[in-house]
Amino acid sequence: MRSPFRSPPSRPGTGGHGRALFAVAQCVPFAIALLVVAIEFSPAHFLYTGPLLTATPALAAVTMGPKGTMSAACVALAVSVATATYNQAWGSQQVYTNFLAIFLVSAASIATSSAMHTRRRSELDQVRRIAAAAQEVLVRPVPARLGPVRAAGIYLAAETGAQIGGDLYEAVQTRYGVRMIVGDVRGKGLPAVRGAAVVLGAFREAVHYEDDLVEVMNHCAAALQREKAVPGAVNAEALAEGFVTALIAQVPDMAVVQLVNRGHPPPLVLRQGRVRALMPASPLPPLGLEDLIAGPPAKAESYPFTPGDRLLLHTDGVIEARDRDNGFFGLPEAMEAAPACPPTEFLEYLHQGLVRHTRGHLADDAALLVVDRLDDETAR
């Protein structure tokens, strides 16, 4: 997240070591086959290379799926045929023994790889179902209509196969108006999910009985501080070192939007084809860094939000998304270029723009929440 309070980023490249080692491991079976070819077609062909070829499909089964294992087995058989022909070894017992060994090991390796692949896919499907259920609880779908606004939300997880993370949003209709929150927990993994759950839980509780938006935000901050202080909790250390940028917005019956911003990227308003950022007059630190607050108590800030306006709340995973040239995604420009359409289609337009900009590789989770102010006749 973009924040002056953020700790230094981790050293670049450390996250790719595991993938690089895995790629090297996948090349080992074929490197062995090349080594056998080099030996058999050289003066050192008297060396016995049969066990090396036999091990090729077995090694492939460890790091590849059934197709990769079958490819390694075919390469081993092809090398065995080529070397037997080159060395004029057809008819010897050793050649047929090698063929039999390669065939048996290949069959066993393909069967094992197939079973492992099926089991992994089943486990992944189960994890995805659990993640989908967890997301329904943590980040609930936004109702299409909330009082005087139409709304839609979307969550884009950076982690492949993941559906939840440290970004959060919610939109609720209350007696005070439509209240919304969007936030971003510093960090990743379970501590980030835990932080998001704590903040959302506090928001959902306080949003219905606190008439002051600042007090709603204070409830979220207090809940986060209490969670950090839980002794012996799982991932407590990671959560204690983190913070949460958060923005709470309220759309009352009047043609305004009221905001309380705690270190979060400012929302954007699209009005008559032009985008304006609603910058806070008095910047405040994120939740979890209350010691940095100085001066008089914070107050909610009001901005015009008239019928026909479109308000977009977002996390920094959107505006910090980079392309191949390390350029940021131009969110205001994308909003202005979007065709006139309902909120859901508008978010899909932005989503496709992000996919094109990053070539489908988001570096951070991203969340977007959009609301359209309706005119009085439509709102009734």
Return the pLDDT at 2: 40
Check residues 138 and 151 and name the one with the higher pLDDT.
151
Other Cβ atoms closer than 10 A to 124: 11
Q: What is the dihedral of CA 219, 220, 221, 225, to 10 degrees?
A: 100
Q: Can you read off the two tokens belonging to residue 351?
A: 């989503």
> What CATH number was assigned to the domain covering residues 139-379?
3.60.40.10
Return the pLDDT at 15: 46
Q: What is the largest CA-CA distance in the chain?
A: 95
Domain ranges of the chain: 16-131, 139-379
Kindly report the length of the chain: 380
> Which one, of 322, 319, 310, 314, lies nearest residue 372 by Cα?
310
Q: Residue 340, SS3?
A: coil
The yes-or-no verdict on residue 3 having pLDDT over 50 is: no
Mean pLDDT of 58-83: 82
Mean pLDDT of 55-80: 82
Burial label, 374 (beta-carbon count in 10 A; 0-12, 13-18, 19+) = middle
Tens digits of per-residue pLDDT, 326-372? 899 999 999 999 999 999 999 999 999 998 998 888 778 889 999 99
pLDDT band at 106 (very low <50, low <70, confident <90, very high): confident
Tens digits of per-residue pLDDT, 22-49? 777 778 888 887 887 777 777 766 666 6
Q: Which residue bears the tokens 């996250």? A: 15
The yes-or-no verdict on residue 234 having pLDDT over 70 is: no
Distances (CA, A) of 183 to 24, 79, 198, 203, 299: 39, 58, 12, 11, 19
Return the pLDDT at 14: 41
The yes-or-no verdict on residue 156 having pLDDT over 90 is: no
Please give the order of strands across the beta sheet that includes 145-146.
145-146, 149-156, 366-373, 310-314, 268-271, 274-277
What are the φ/ψ torsions at residue 87 (nearest 5 degrees)? -90, 5
What are the φ/ψ torsions at residue 268 (nearest 5 degrees)? -120, 140
Mean pLDDT of 138-149: 87
Check residues 75 and 240 and name the one with the higher pLDDT.
75
- Long-range contacts of residues 83-91, Cβ cutoff 8 Å, at least 24 apart: 83/36, 83/37, 83/40, 83/41, 83/45, 83/49, 86/40, 86/41, 87/40, 87/45
The yes-or-no verdict on residue 215 having pLDDT over 80 is: yes
Return the pLDDT at 301: 94
Check residues 109 and 144 and name the one with the higher pLDDT.
144
